[in-house]
C-alpha cells in the first residue's frame, strides 16, 4: 500500500502535524481528528485529491453495499468514480499542477474511512511527483469527470448506497451553509 499527500506547494521537506483549517463535526470521542495531524490518502482513493486545492467537488464510488439501481443512476459505465465538478472550475482543473508526495506508511494509522490515514508526528516524504495533467490523472484512476453548473442538485447523494465524498463544498455555487 502507498500513501500520498497532495499539495500545490512543491517544496515541503517535512510535514509537521497541524490542526485542520476548518474543524468538522466529529463523532463522540473523535474530536482529536481536528487536532494536529499529518493527513494522507491511500493510493486507491487518490482521485479525491487530483484537483486544485479549493475546487469544490463531489466524488461517488461504489461499495460492496451499492445497489444496482444506484450504480446505474450515478456511475457512468466502466467508471470506478463519478467526479462532479462545477463547469466554472474545468479550465482551472485542466491548467493546474498538483504535487503528490509519497509518505511512509509505518508512521500512519488508518481511520478506516475512505482511505484516510493520519500521523501524529512529523513525516518526511519518500518521493515527490508533479502532476501537470489532472484530467488524465483522474482518468487513470477510473474517474469520469461530470461537469455541472452547480453541485447543489447532488445534496442527497449521501443517502444513497454509494460512497460519497464532498470536498471544499463551501466554495460551491448555491451550496447550503451551516
Mean pLDDT, the chain cut into blocks of 10 residues (178 residues total): 95 92 76 83 95 95 95 94 96 96 96 90 97 96 95 93 92 79
- Neighbour-count burial for 26-41, b at 16+ CB within 10 Å, e otherwise: eeeeeeebeeebbbbb
Half-sphere exposure of 118 (CA within 13 A, CB side): 15
User: How many residues appear in the chain?
Assistant: 178
The predicted structure's pLDDT at residue 131: 97
Q: Pairing state of beta strands 143-148 and 81-86?
A: parallel
**pTM of the entire structure?**
0.89
The 3-state DSSP class for residue 114 equals coil
The predicted structure's pLDDT at residue 21: 75
Half-sphere exposure of 115 (CA within 13 A, CB side): 20
First to last CA, the chain: 36
59 within 8 A of 141, measured Cβ to Cβ: no
In angstroms, the CA 171 to CA 112 distance is 27
The predicted structure's pLDDT at residue 67: 96
The predicted structure's pLDDT at residue 178: 58
Longest CA span, the chain: 46
The predicted structure's pLDDT at residue 120: 94
For 70, the enclosing helix (H) or strand (E) is helix 68-74
In angstroms, the CA 45 to CA 103 distance is 15
The predicted structure's pLDDT at residue 34: 72
The burial of 113, by beta-carbon neighbours within 10 Å (0-12 exposed, 13-18 middle, 19 or more buried), is given as exposed
Amino acid at each position: 500500500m502507498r500513501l500520498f499527500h497532495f499539495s500545490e506547494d512543491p517544496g515541503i521537506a517535512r510535514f509537521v502535524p497541524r490542526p485542520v483549517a476548518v474543524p468538522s463535526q466529529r463523532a463522540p470521542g473523535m474530536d482529536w481528528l481536528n487536532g494536529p495531524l499529518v493527513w494522507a490518502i491511500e493510493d486507491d482513493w487518490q482521485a479525491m485529491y487530483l484537483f486544485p486545492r479549493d475546487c469544490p467537488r463531489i466524488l461517488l464510488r461504489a461499495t460492496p453495499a451499492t445497489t444496482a439501481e444506484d450504480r446505474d443512476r450515478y456511475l457512468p459505465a466502466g467508471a470506478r468514480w463519478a467526479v462532479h465538478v462545477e463547469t466554472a472550475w474545468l479550465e482551472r482543473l485542466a491548467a493546474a499542477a498538483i504535487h503528490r508526495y509519497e509518505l511512509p506508511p509505518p508512521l500512519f494509522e488508518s481511520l478506516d474511512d475512505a482511505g484516510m490515514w493520519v500521523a501524529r508526528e512529523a513525516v518526511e516524504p519518500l518521493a515527490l511527483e508533479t502532476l501537470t495533467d489532472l484530467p488524465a490523472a483522474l482518468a487513470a484512476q477510473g474517474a469520469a469527470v461530470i461537469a455541472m453548473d452547480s453541485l447543489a442538485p447532488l445534496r442527497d447523494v449521501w443517502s444513497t448506497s454509494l460512497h460519497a465524498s464532498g470536498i471544499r463544498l463551501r466554495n460551491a455555487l448555491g451550496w447550503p451553509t451551516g
